[in-house]
């Protein structure tokens, strides 16, 4: 019996069918075993013809054979394998990108360490040069001080030798070599 009010599900079905047809999905009409349609199906098929959507028609037994749990399981398995492969490929690409980025960071860190090491070597060489220059300067000052001390000592020794009279024991016949007799000091 025909009713004056419509069903909300039919409007949603039409929208989803249009969406599927526009996305190039294959539309299938499933009939009874004898190939006849139910009352709601007649309206749905009429909509397909009016909209110009291509569709296939199969009976419920053929549909069940094609879409048995085993067939569905196989199809799902194929889809799962395909999804798994795509996921593995995606993970591999992500890993490769991460590895590439990690290597790049390592190269940057290595270069940074090399630059720091070169800077430290240059600073060490500069400090070594400064220390050597200071040591050389100290060595020269020390040598100059020793030379001056030596000169002072030699001068004092010379003065002491020049002004010091030679004391000889009384009655001694030994003369200091090279000194005349008159330089001898006599006891008082």
User: What pLDDT was estimated at residue 81?
Assistant: 77
pLDDT value of position 79 = 75
Q: At what angle do helices 8-22 and 39-51 cross, to 10 degrees?
A: 40
Per residue of the chain (188 residues), what is the pLDDT tens digit?
666 666 777 888 899 999 999 999 999 999 888 888 988 888 899 999 999 999 999 888 888 777 777 766 676 677 777 888 888 899 999 999 999 999 999 999 999 999 999 999 999 999 999 999 999 999 999 999 999 988 888 877 766 665 555 565 565 555 555 555 555 555 55
According to DSSP, the residues that pair with 29 across neighbouring strands are 57
The whole-model pTM stands at 0.36
Q: Which residues contact 40 (CB under 8 A, 6 or more apart)?
A: 10
C-alpha radius of gyration, the chain, whole number: 59
Q: For residue 94, what pLDDT is reported?
A: 92
């Amino acid at each position: 019996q025909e009713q004056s009010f419509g069903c909300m599900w039919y409007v949603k079905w039409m929208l989803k069918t249009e969406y599927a047809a526009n996305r190039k999905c294959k539309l299938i009409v499933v009939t009874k075993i004898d190939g006849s349609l139910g009352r709601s199906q007649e309206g749905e098929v009429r909509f397909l013809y009016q909209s110009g959507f291509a569709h296939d028609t199969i009976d419920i037994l053929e549909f069940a054979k094609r879409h048995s749990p085993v067939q569905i399981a196989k199809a799902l398995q194929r889809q799962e394998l395909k999804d798994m492969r795509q996921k593995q490929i995606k993970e591999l690409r992500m890993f490769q990108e991460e590895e590439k980025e990690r290597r790049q960071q390592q190269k940057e860190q290595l270069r940074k360490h090399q630059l720091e090491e070169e800077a430290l070597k240059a600073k060490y060489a500069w400090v070594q040069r400064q220390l050597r220059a200071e040591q050389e300067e100290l060595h020269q000052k020390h040598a100059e001080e020793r030379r001056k001390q030596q000169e002072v000592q030699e001068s004092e020794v010379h003065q002491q030798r020049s002004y010091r009279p030679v004391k000889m024991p009384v009655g001694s016949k030994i003369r200091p070599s090279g000194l005349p007799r008159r330089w001898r000091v006599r006891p008082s």
